[in-house]
Amino acid sequence: MKKKAVIFILNILVSVMTLAAPKYVFMFIGDGLGAAQRQIAEYYMTDVEGGEGKLLMNRFPVAGINTTHSLNTLVTDSAAAGTALATGHKTNNGMISMLPSGEKVESIAQYAGRSGMKTGLVTATRLTHATPAVFASTNVSRGNENEIADDFVKSGIDFFAGGGYRNFIPQEAKGSKRKDSRDLGREFKREGYKVFMGENSVGDFMDLKARGDQKVFAALTSSHMPYEVDRVNSRDHLPSLADMTRKGIEVLSQGEKGFFMMVEAGRIDHAAHANDAASVIHDTLALDRAVGEAYEFYKRYPEETLIVVVGDHETGGMGLGYGKNYFLKLEALKDVRASVDDVLQRKYDGNRKAYFEFIGREMGLGDLSAEERASIVKAMDIEDSGDYNSALFGDYTPTSVATAHVLAKRSNTMFTTYAHTGTQIPLSAVGRGAEKFSGFIDNTEIAETMIEMVR
């Protein structure tokens, strides 16, 4: 009698645990997404674009705050932070799902795949960049992107979408970064993937009709996908982060046992590195629209879906306020039509007249004050000399940095660094099991909880 009672209780417990686990799990990672990045995007949306209310990610009912330090430093990089978020393990900066001892650790995606769930990785960066890499690869260094690409072929991930085809094409192909003649696109096809490689494949990718157990590999640009501000002001017709997320949902939702999808808005980080306030805003808004695609899915399956939105670290030391001012003037950024990193720093070639015409037309700086113009001219003098300490300008040109800082000062936003910071970052969540992510927790605890949910 007692044995039957124990078995009955155990069956109830198993049923409850199964019921509590979400079938569909979304993990959105804003690379470099700290509190300031989330908040400035919301202010811009409401005060400049005329939107109402909060960002969708800021309306989710569960909120938390996370620590981000790596194993060997209080200021993490994306590899160590990604490893923590993907596997629940701290490691040294630069390492991809590997501990300093050399031990390889498994990711949420790998646990989910073994349990029969479909898995997907979507990113606005190269697919081989640190954050997506930690979910499908292990390596001693994030810089070994060709080796990371090799791992992807046998990873079992069902859906890849992002940039970076240069690490998947043979060295003989134009633009390749490989050191061998392996054609990973062909290898993916042999593994049963529908492959979309390069800008010319975008139309076919967007027209793809999801069917059954379809697997997809899409590397649509040579390096990163464009900043959102550049994407919307170009004629390239490249998909947005929301477009790729929607396509991923279409493909992965064909599986009977649910799915795990990681979506990274990686260019928020790049924009903040470049002290580019406008691009921080537009790429954060692009992330929120991608979250919206998942939320539409959640509304169809609210009892079975979990959405978590988090950053891996803060970038730039972004401050909302400057000097003695107690206000923001974000309308100063509304006419910016180009990024600092991908566009502006390639524009100055010694032709000062052409540069000033460009920033007047594309950066909303046609009315420079004498002081603002002088700061840019001084930077041009430094750049023309070729003799300057690059540490003072990060990885950017003096002229582009000076221009970015004019825009930041006009809007009363400022940055303390071209690197990452150690500040805590916000998390928000909605859906089945969302309450488990609330409170003041470490980034490793996010992964630990998700792994328990999907295994």
pLDDT tens-digit readout, 127-147: 999 999 999 999 999 999 999
> pLDDT (tens digit, 9 = 90+) per residue, 193-213?
999 999 999 999 999 999 999
89 is an annotated ligand-binding site residue: no
Q: Over the range 388-403, which residues count as b (16 or more CB within 10 Å of their CB) and which as e? A: eeeeebbebbbbbbbb
Out of 15, 70, 78, 339, pick the active-site residue.
Answer: 78
Q: Per the structure block, which two tokens stand in for 189?
A: 């096809």
- 405 annotated ligand binder: no
Strands of the sheet with 305-311, listed across from one edge: 193-197, 215-219, 159-163, 118-126, 259-265, 24-30, 305-311, 425-431, 62-67, 439-442
The end-to-end CA distance of the chain, in Å, is: 32
Confidence tier at 12 by pLDDT (50, 70, 90): very low
Q: Any binding-site annotation on 131? A: yes
> What local confidence, expressed as pLDDT, does residue 19 receive?
52
Binding residue per annotation — 313? Answer: yes
Give 20's pLDDT tier (boundaries 50, 70, 90): confident
Share of the chain residues as helix, strand and coil, in percent rounded to the nearest 5:
45, 15, 40
- Here the tokens at position 306 are 């979990």
The annotation status of 129 as a binding-site residue, yes or no, is: yes
Residue 172 has pLDDT above 70, yes or no: yes
Q: How much is the average pLDDT of 92-96?
A: 98
Q: What is the pLDDT of residue 16?
A: 44
Gap between the Cα atoms of 76 and 92, Å rounded: 8
DSSP conformational letter for 226: P
Q: Is 270 annotated as a binding residue?
A: no
Report the share of the chain in percent with pLDDT over 90. 92
Q: Which residues of 67-80 are buried (b: 16+ CB within 10 A; e: fewer)?
A: bbbbbeeebbbbbb
Confirm or deny that 67 is annotated as ligand binding. Answer: no
Residue 78 catalytic? yes
Q: Is 236 exposed, middle or buried (0-12, 13-18, 19+ CB in 10 A)?
A: exposed
Q: Inform me whether the pLDDT recorded for 436 exceeds 70.
A: yes
CA angle 190, 192, 197 (to 5 degrees): 80
Q: 216 vs 65, 115, 119, 267, CA distance in Å?
A: 34, 20, 11, 23
Q: What CA–CA distance (Å, rounded) separates 342 from 378?
A: 22
Helices then strands, counting H and E runs in the chain, come out as 16, 14
Question: What per-residue confidence (pLDDT) applies to 391?
Answer: 83
pLDDT of residue 353: 98
Predicted TM-score of the model (pTM): 0.95
Answer yes or no: is 273 a known binding residue: yes
Residue 15, judged by CB atoms within 10 A of its CB (0-12, 13-18, 19+), counts as exposed
Report residue 2's pLDDT band, with 50, 70 and 90 as the boundaries.
Answer: low
Q: What is the pLDDT of residues 335-379, one digit of tens each?
A: 999 999 999 999 999 999 999 999 999 999 999 999 999 999 999
* Residues 127, 161: Cα–Cα separation, whole Å: 7
How high is the mean pLDDT of the chain?
95
The per-residue pLDDT for 18 is 45
Question: Does the annotation list 264 as a binding residue?
Answer: yes
pLDDT bucket at 5, cuts 50 / 70 / 90:
low
pLDDT for res 390: 81
Q: What confidence tier does 23 reach under pLDDT thresholds 50, 70, 90?
A: very high
Q: Could you read off the pLDDT of 210-237 as tens digits, one per residue?
A: 999 999 999 999 999 999 999 999 988 9
Give residue 241's pLDDT: 98
Structural domains in the chain, sorted by start: 22-317+421-454 (3.40.720.10), 319-414 (1.10.60)
DSSP state of 96: B
